[in-house]
Amino acid sequence: MKLSQHAKLNDQRGIMLITTLCLLATITTLSAVFLESSLTEVRAAEKLEQRMIAFHWAEGAIDQTIANLRTNAAYTGVPSTAGTGRVSGNYLSSVTSLGNNVYKVSSTGSITGSYSVLSQDRTLEAYVTLASSSPFKMAIFANQTIAMSGNAQTGSFNSAAGGIAGAQANGGNIGSNRTGANTVTLSGNVKINGNATVGPGATVSTAIVTSGNAKVTGTKSAAAATTTLDAVTIPAGTTKLGAISISGNGTQTLAAGTYEVSSVTITGNGQLNLTGNTTLYVTGNVSIGGNGIATASSLPTNLRLNVKGSLVNLSGNATLYGAIYAPSAQLNISGNGGLYGAAIANWINNSGNGKVYFDKALDGSGGSGSTTSQVTYWTEL
């Protein structure tokens, strides 16, 4: 009897041990499953975070590229650059010109893999159209008539890449908004090394008239639309200087900056010296003779003359390096001097031996200058 009870007790203990072992096995299995699930979630979260970082790096590379393209149309892309933050990796971009101011920008953001997550790459592609925000797109442009005589001629160069040494007998385009007869009259030995354009709807054969040895080497055509010439407005807070008047052997020096003046008159051997990038807002008239204006580094992009007055005269033997915007004025260019840059006026008369060479850097086409951009297509590859 006692032996039977002892056997029953042993059976109960065995059952309890088996139950306990089964319970421990179940708990261990559940713990392993839970741990693996947790690790999977951690890896998924880490992967998502790194993919987002790679995406933002790629997107930042595109933004940086577009910003550089606005000031340098020859920009080729962001070189491989180490990213910053908790993770290691890099980003880069490349630029492909598709013509007509359209560029394809490709960028990649890459995250270096860790012990639990493979490396992550995100590649983006954007198509960007650049448009110049500058009004200067030709050597000279008039709202009304253009008359050129004597030995006047036009051409172009790029001050951002070689300067005047790279001057070319092409690209010196001229244009007008006017549509009537004799809008552009060219006589004597005038040579337009470029195209001549008149207002939309004009009869080109009567609007552009040549005589003597004068000729246009490029095309003669009517524009598709009128070019809007905004009135000159002076920004608030611009430094006022009064009149600039230099005569005899006198000189005046201006530091880089933006100034409002009532008029500009330079005669005799007088000269205005500019030490840096300068913008002059002139409320009256401009007459530049003598030794003219010495623009900083002889770069047309360093001088902008915005004229509200009705008359701008460039005479004498001095060459002016700069851009003239005088939409309400008569612009007269005479003597042996020339203009390297660009000019916009209401009427333009160029006589004598004066040359006008368009600086492509003024409109951004020369790899410099200010432009606006529009992203026309964007995707992730």
Each residue of 230-285: pLDDT tens digit? 899 998 889 999 999 999 999 999 999 999 999 999 999 999 999 999 999 999 99
Residue 230 burial (CB < 10 Å; 0-12/13-18/19+)?
Answer: exposed
Cα angle for residues 130, 108, 47 (degrees, 5° grid): 140
**pTM (predicted TM-score):** 0.65
Percent share of the chain, pLDDT over 90 = 59
Banded model confidence at residue 129, pLDDT cuts 50, 70, 90: confident
Output the average pLDDT for the chain: 87
The residues near 313 (Cβ < 8 Å, ≥ 6 apart) are: 285, 286, 287, 288, 289, 332, 334
Question: Does 369 score more than 70 pLDDT?
Answer: no
**Residues 132, 333 contacting (CB under 8 angstroms):** no
Residue 171 burial (CB < 10 Å; 0-12/13-18/19+)?
Answer: buried
Comparison of pLDDT for 364 and 238, the residue scoring more: 238
Structure tokens at 267: 């005669």
Question: Does 1 score more than 60 pLDDT?
Answer: no
Cα angle for residues 37, 43, 48 (degrees, 5° grid): 125
Banded model confidence at residue 38, pLDDT cuts 50, 70, 90: low
The amino acid present at 121, given as its one-letter code, is D
Ranked by mean pLDDT, which of 29-38, 62-71, 183-192, 362-371 comes out on top? 183-192
* 319/56 Cα distance (integer angstroms): 50
Banded model confidence at residue 36, pLDDT cuts 50, 70, 90: low
* 308/328 Cα distance (integer angstroms): 7
Percent share of the chain, pLDDT over 70 = 87
